[in-house]
């Protein structure tokens, strides 16, 4: 067991070694029932209320494959540009763990449903990196253990453990990449971009909500280093169940630095699983890794092979939605934004909100402006995702409509948005309640302009003398008098008109 947590700097690590990564992502499917029985998969039920003889591993209980689970697996496989097996079987992966009542996990071994694909992912600078996919296979989740009595919730120090089998048997798809080479110093960024692209893809397919914070999607980060110029891979570590995009990136980065420290000091890397710690950004040793043969895989005798007809596969292919990267590239063109702008939109989590705001009638530029400005900031400040803000795309579209009609200026529009977010009602209600209409009544505006001219005779003289730039001071005075509710461009026009000066 490696106990050292000495690190070398990231730059020094990359100066001597190339990272090789493998990413294994587990996705919990959003099917209504479990993979091999009819039990519900809904969250939040009392412990052990969603179980039956099959998912509790009772003698004589027989599993039946969930057809939606298979269909979802094929969808994922096709979206990852994989070949779909014409015939494949489930296999038993034998090992004991208290949260797995059958003493084996029903999984797939050498006959995965999907194999040999790729996923193109986009990096922060808009560049594309191709990640090759080894396989995507079907399996089932385990139950959950709750260790009681200790300080940490871990088994060490606990007085007893409770088991909840509600999750046992929920369908999982495990997606395994081929070794990712050639990413160099960008390896951690590639890892993050890959998991994000995969998450977007899974959501677009509608097969899972893929919420990492709820464990619906989790990533194992396998990493090894090899000296520059060497063909052979080094020994890898497997950092298990990393559950946020940021942590995936940090775990890869930490392991690069740790491996480099061990190798540079003449040590050897132990093949083992490791745990990532959010608080410190570091990993610690788990258990020494078993080899595949330790699991004594053998074909599952209680399930018939899965043999999806080519007609069905093609039917599923034909039903796939536009995939996220293609969609982003299309929108980039339609909106006329750069690759890095699109990455920023993706990072902010506002892409779908902007699309829906445009669908509700706003033009692309203003939809983007509000969601990436005011609203992204507001979400950030209150620590929520933008789609959890108390404003809908329809309402944002209404605000931008009022601006387009000249009934609101930007400053007033911001106050309207603030009011909607504060629960004061719809944009129109906030406009009424707060009295936020632009003063478009020419008579009232004319009076305010006359007063500003009378109150600032020196400035007025300068403008008459041709110094048009001085008009800013008078515009400011009018805006102040109307409490910001005038259209500044119209105010300037009126001032110049009244002083008999033309702008150009
Ligand atoms: Zn069941």
List, for residues 104-141, the tens digit of each pLDDT value. Answer: 999 999 999 999 999 999 998 889 999 999 999 999 99
Q: Yes or no: say if 180 and 23 are a contact pair by the CB < 8 Å rule.
A: yes
Mean residue pLDDT across the chain: 92
Tell me, in angstroms, the distance from the centre of ligand 1 to residue 142's CA: 12
Tell me, in angstroms, the distance from the centre of ligand 1 to residue 50's CA: 7
Tell me, in angstroms, the distance from the centre of ligand 1 to residue 345's CA: 41
Q: What is the mean pLDDT of residues 87-111?
A: 94
Model confidence at 445, pLDDT cuts 50, 70, 90, reads confident
The one-character DSSP state at 470 is: G
Q: Which two tokens stand for residue 142?
A: 């385990």
Model confidence at 1, pLDDT cuts 50, 70, 90, reads very low
Can you state the angle between helices 187-205 and 245-264, rounded to 10 degrees? 150
Q: What is the mean pLDDT of residues 129-155?
A: 92
How many whole angstroms separate alpha carbon 323 and alpha carbon 65?
Answer: 27
Share of the chain above pLDDT 90, in %: 74
Tell me, in angstroms, the distance from the centre of ligand 1 to residue 38's CA: 6
pLDDT at residue 292 greater than cutoff 90: no
Tell me, in angstroms, the distance from the centre of ligand 1 to residue 71's CA: 20
Tell me, in angstroms, the distance from the centre of ligand 1 to residue 51's CA: 4
Model confidence at 11, pLDDT cuts 50, 70, 90, reads very high
Model confidence at 19, pLDDT cuts 50, 70, 90, reads very high
Check residues 466 and 298 and name the one with the higher pLDDT: 298
- How much is the pTM? 0.83
Class of domain 442-499: mainly alpha
Tell me, in angstroms, the distance from the centre of ligand 1 to residue 33's CA: 8
β 128-140/91-94 pair status: unpaired
Tell me, in angstroms, the distance from the centre of ligand 1 to residue 37's CA: 5
Confidence at residue 504, expressed as pLDDT on a 0 to 100 scale: 56
Q: Which long-range contacts (CB under 8 A, 24 or more apart) does 467-476 make?
A: 468/496, 468/501, 468/503, 471/495, 471/496, 474/449
Confidence at residue 2, expressed as pLDDT on a 0 to 100 scale: 43
Q: What is the mean pLDDT of residues 414-442?
A: 88
Alpha helices (H) in 206-277, listed in sequence order: 245-264
Tell me, in angstroms, the distance from the centre of ligand 1 to residue 82's CA: 31
Domain edges within the chain = 10-296, 322-434, 442-499
Query: Among 69-73, 246-250, 449-453, where is mean pLDDT lowest?
Result: 449-453
Tell me, in angstroms, the distance from the centre of ligand 1 to residue 205's CA: 26
Tell me, in angstroms, the distance from the centre of ligand 1 to residue 423's CA: 44
Tell me, in angstroms, the distance from the centre of ligand 1 to residue 180's CA: 38
Q: Which of 250, 248, 261, 296 is nearest to 131 (CA)?
A: 248
Query: Among 106-120, 242-256, 281-295, where is mean pLDDT lowest?
Result: 281-295
The one-character DSSP state at 469 is: G
Per-position b or e across 233-247, b if 16+ CB within 10 A of its CB:
ebebbbbbebbbbeb
How many whole angstroms separate alpha carbon 135 and alpha carbon 158?
Answer: 38
Q: What is the mean pLDDT of residues 479-496?
A: 84
């Amino acid at each position: 067991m490696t106990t050292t947590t000495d690190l070398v700097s990231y730059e020094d690590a990359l100066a001597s070694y190339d990272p090789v990564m493998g990413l294994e992502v587990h996705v919990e499917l959003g099917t209504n029932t479990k993979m091999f029985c009819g039990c519900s998969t809904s969250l939040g039920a009392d412990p052990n209320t969603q179980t039956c003889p099959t998912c509790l591993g009772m003698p004589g209980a027989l599993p039946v494959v969930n057809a939606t689970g298979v269909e979802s697996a094929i969808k994922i496989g096709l979206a990852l540009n994989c070949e779909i097996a014409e015939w494949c079987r489930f296999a038993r992966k034998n090992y004991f763990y208290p949260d797995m009542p059958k003493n084996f996990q029903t999984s797939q071994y050498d006959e995965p449903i999907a194999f040999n694909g790729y996923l193109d992912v986009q990096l922060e600078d808009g560049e594309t990196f191709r990640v090759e996919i080894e396989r995507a296979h079907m399996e089932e989740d385990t139950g959950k253990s709750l260790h009681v009595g200790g300080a940490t919730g871990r088994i060490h120090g606990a007085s007893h453990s409770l088991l909840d089998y509600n999750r046992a048997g929920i369908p999982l798809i495990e997606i395994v990449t081929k070794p990712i080479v050639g990413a160099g110093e960008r390896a951690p960024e590639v890892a993050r971009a890959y998991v994000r692209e995969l998450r977007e893809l899974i959501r677009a397919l509608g097969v899972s909500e893929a919420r990492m914070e709820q464990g619906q999607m989790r990533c194992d980060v396998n990493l090894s280093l090899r000296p520059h110029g060497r063909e052979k891979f080094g020994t890898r570590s497997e950092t298990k169940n990393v559950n946020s995009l940021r942590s995936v990136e940090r775990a890869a980065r930490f392991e690069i630095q740790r491996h480099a420290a061990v190798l540079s000091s003449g040590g050897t890397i132990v093949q083992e699983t490791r745990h990532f710690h959010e608080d410190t950004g570091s990993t610690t040793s788990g258990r020494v890794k078993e080899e595949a043969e330790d699991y004594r895989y053998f074909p599952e005798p209680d399930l018939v092979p899965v043999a999806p007809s080519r007609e069905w596969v093609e039917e599923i292919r034909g039903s796939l939605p536009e995939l996220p990267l293609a969609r982003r590239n299309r929108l980039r063109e339609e909106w006329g934004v750069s690759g890095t702008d699109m990455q920023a939109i993706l990072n902010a989590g506002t892409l779908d909100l902007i699309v829906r705001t445009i669908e509700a009638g706003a033009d692309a530029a203003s939809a983007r402006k509000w969601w990436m400005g005011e609203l992204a900031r507001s979400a950030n400040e209150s620590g929520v995702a933008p789609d959890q803000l108390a404003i809908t795309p329809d309402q944002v579209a209404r605000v931008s409509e009022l601006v387009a009609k000249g009934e609101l200026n930007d400053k007033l529009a911001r106050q309207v948005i603030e009011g909607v977010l504060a629960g004061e009602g719809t944009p129109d209600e906030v406009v009424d309640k707060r009295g936020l209409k632009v003063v478009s009544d020419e008579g009232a505006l004319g009076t305010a302009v006359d007063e500003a001219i009378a109150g600032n005779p020196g400035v007025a003289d300068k403008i008459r003398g041709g110094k048009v730039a001085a008009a800013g001071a008078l515009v400011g005075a009018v805006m102040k008098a109307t409490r910001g509710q005038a259209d500044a461009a119209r105010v300037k026009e009126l001032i110049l008109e009244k002083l008999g000066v033309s702008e150009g």
